[in-house]
Amino acid sequence: MKKTITILLFLFITLQMSAQCWQSISAGNDHSLAIKNDGTLWAWGNNDYSQLGDGTTVYKSIPTQIGTANNWVKISASLRISFAIKADGTLWSWGRNEYGQLGQGTTTTITIPRQVGTATNWLNINAGEQHFIALKTDGTLWGCGRNHYGQLGDNTTVNKSIPIQISAANWQEIATKNDHNLAIKSDGTLWSWGYDANGELGLGFIVVSIESLTQVGTGTNWQKVSANGYHSMAIKTDGTLWGWGANSGSQLGNGTATDRSSPVQIGTATDWQKIAAGHSFTYGIKTNGTLWSWGEGIYGELGNGSTQIRSTPTQVGTSSDNADLAAGREHILVKNTDNFIKSTGRNNYGQLGDGTTSDKNSFNPILCYPSTLSTEDFAINNLKVYPNPVRDLVNLSFDKEITAVSIYNLLGQEVITKNINANQDSIDVSHLTSGTYLIKVISGAGVKTLKIIKE
């Protein structure tokens, strides 16, 4: 523990870290993507097919900025492929491309983000292993890439290297990660297509594949869906949790290891809010912000300090400060309400972003690195924060009015906030435990984040 704290302190001393860092996250097979609040794109992990988008094939164990654009809004990562959407509605792709899964009209690997076609109305995208499905702002459903299991839903098994429209309007939610797809219409009905050898399509029977969009049951209250590996998870509008498909690792969470070909309710709770399926594990967030996991934990992906299987949802830690999550094959990213990321699980390519390649069985924070074109640092160099280290009172002084101050711990949790509206003030930190904190100072001149040490 002491060694870990020393490493973190060294990193905080040598790197500027800004509060309110990460906006969006996505976990691929063994790489990760994120967008910062300033709109910049970041990637880390495996890079053997340039899926990080930095023009190399060298893996990165810490977040690395991709290009200098600062208008990214959506991301999706899967098996050696990455996609992103900009604020102008354009779609971009990079990585492995042997089946035309990048939508570029070729089968050539793309090493940096390249625009897909000329359309400017892309809304959302989900990457499968070798294909993708996407939504446009008009509610139409699109797909591209490998189609050997009918995962493009166009009633064929012919690969496509340019996006094709799968269905007309009225779609609002999509999910894919492997070779099967889930989608919800605006009327709350759930539909599936693609690979089905484990019942992951939820149709009540098992076949090799379904090549056209098929409704799952008759329900009209489906709200959220997630697909990965060979199982599917969903949340209904009443907050209930449902699962189906492969279950050998108890990834459905219903207390068994038996596959299900139809949706089965998981427990009786009615307060599920977010869901993310990994390859053989699953995570969920409840409306109270608590984090839960279940399934296989071979690489520590359950985040509970062990590698044992959990056959039912089990709370991870005691924090209620969890807002979003993204599951890869064997690792997980979780974002809190202050937009900091923590990660756990397999880390053989640095996909956890903690600067190592060692697996973790409990969550560790991912540092926030300064952007090339960041608007987070600015010239308020006359700001004084003293003493540092501090025991009781930390003093702030600036030649312009200080609006407010917030202090965060290393996990990104806000521990103190205070409105000031003056050029100088003091903050009582005597009740804080000893350690390193980040102090964010807000002024009309901008925002500045500094490191302080509490004795």
**Which of 336, 366, 396 is the endpoint of a domain?**
366
Q: Is there a single domain that holds both residue 390 and residue 334? A: no
The model's pTM: 0.81
Ranges 105-119, 201-215, 271-285, 404-418: which has the least confidence = 404-418
In a domain, 374, yes or no: no
Mean pLDDT of the chain: 91
Q: Output the pLDDT for position 450.
A: 79
Q: Is there a single domain that holds both residue 362 and residue 401? A: no
In a domain, 276, yes or no: yes
In a domain, 408, yes or no: yes
Q: Is there a single domain that holds both residue 359 and residue 389? A: no
Q: Is the pLDDT of residue 64 over 70?
A: yes
User: What HEC string does the chain produce?
Assistant: CHHHHHHHHHHHHHCCCCCCCEEEEEECCCEEEEEECCCCEEEEECCCCCCCCCCCCCCEEEEEECCCCCCEEEEEECCCEEEEEECCCCEEEEECCCCCCCCCCCCCCEEEEEECCCCCCEEEEEECCCEEEEEECCCCEEEEECCCCCCCCECCCCCEEEEEEEECCCEEEEEECCCEEEEEECCCCEEEEEECCCCCCCCCCCCCEEEEEEECCCCCCEEEEEEECCEEEEEECCCCEEEEECCCCCCCCCCCCCCEEEEEECCCCCCEEEEEECCCEEEEEECCCCEEEEECCCCCCCCCCCCCCEEEEEECCCCCCCCEEEECCCEEEEECCCCCEEEEECCCCCCCCCCCCCCEEEEEEECCCCCCCCCCCCCCCCCEEECCCECCEEEEEEEEEEEEEEEECCCCCEEEEEEEEEEEEEEECCCCCCEEEEEEEEECCEEEEEEEEEC
Q: Output the pLDDT for position 282.
A: 98
Q: Is there a single domain that holds both residue 290 and residue 399? A: no
Confidence of residue 440 (pLDDT cuts 50, 70, 90): confident
Q: Is there a single domain that holds both residue 337 and residue 403? A: no
Q: Is there a single domain that holds both residue 251 and residue 137? A: yes
Q: Is the pLDDT of residue 448 over 90?
A: no
Q: Is there a single domain that holds both residue 414 and residue 354? A: no
In a domain, 33, yes or no: yes
Q: Is there a single domain that holds both residue 447 and residue 353? A: no
Residue keyed to tokens 């053997």: 48
Confidence of residue 432 (pLDDT cuts 50, 70, 90): very high
Q: Is the pLDDT of residue 247 over 90?
A: yes
Does residue 132 or residue 18 have the better pLDDT?
Answer: 132
Q: Is there a single domain that holds both residue 343 and residue 402? A: no
Mean pLDDT within 398-426: 83
Q: Is the pLDDT of residue 327 over 70?
A: yes
In a domain, 14, yes or no: no
Q: Is there a single domain that holds both residue 278 and residue 189? A: yes
Confidence of residue 17 (pLDDT cuts 50, 70, 90): very low
Confidence of residue 40 (pLDDT cuts 50, 70, 90): very high
Q: Output the pLDDT for position 221.
A: 98
**Which of 315, 334, 366 is the endpoint of a domain?**
366
Mean pLDDT within 22-46: 96
Q: Is there a single domain that holds both residue 425 and residue 347? A: no
Ranges 2-11, 109-118, 143-152, 175-184: which has the least confidence = 2-11
Q: Output the pLDDT for position 8.
A: 42
Confidence of residue 19 (pLDDT cuts 50, 70, 90): very low
Q: Is the pLDDT of residue 109 over 60?
A: yes
Q: Is the pLDDT of residue 7 over 60?
A: no
Confidence of residue 408 (pLDDT cuts 50, 70, 90): confident
Rg (CA), the chain: 23
We report the CATH number of the domain holding residue 435 as 2.60.40.1220
Q: Is there a single domain that holds both residue 356 and residue 441? A: no
pLDDT exceeding 70 applies to what percent of the chain? 92
In a domain, 372, yes or no: no
**Which of 331, 366, 401 is the endpoint of a domain?**
366
Q: Is the pLDDT of residue 388 over 60?
A: yes
| Count of domains observed in the chain | 2
In a domain, 110, yes or no: yes
pLDDT exceeding 90 applies to what percent of the chain? 80
Q: Output the pLDDT for position 446.
A: 66
163: number of Cβ within 10 Å: 25
Confidence of residue 83 (pLDDT cuts 50, 70, 90): very high
pLDDT tens profile 192-202: 999 999 999 99
Mean pLDDT within 167-185: 97
Does residue 409 or residue 247 have the better pLDDT?
Answer: 247
We report the CATH number of the domain holding residue 165 as 2.130.10.30
Q: Output the pLDDT for position 445.
A: 59
The range of the structural domain enclosing residue 299 comes to 20-366
In a domain, 47, yes or no: yes
Mean pLDDT within 294-317: 97
Backbone angles phi, psi at 350, to 5 degrees: 80, 20
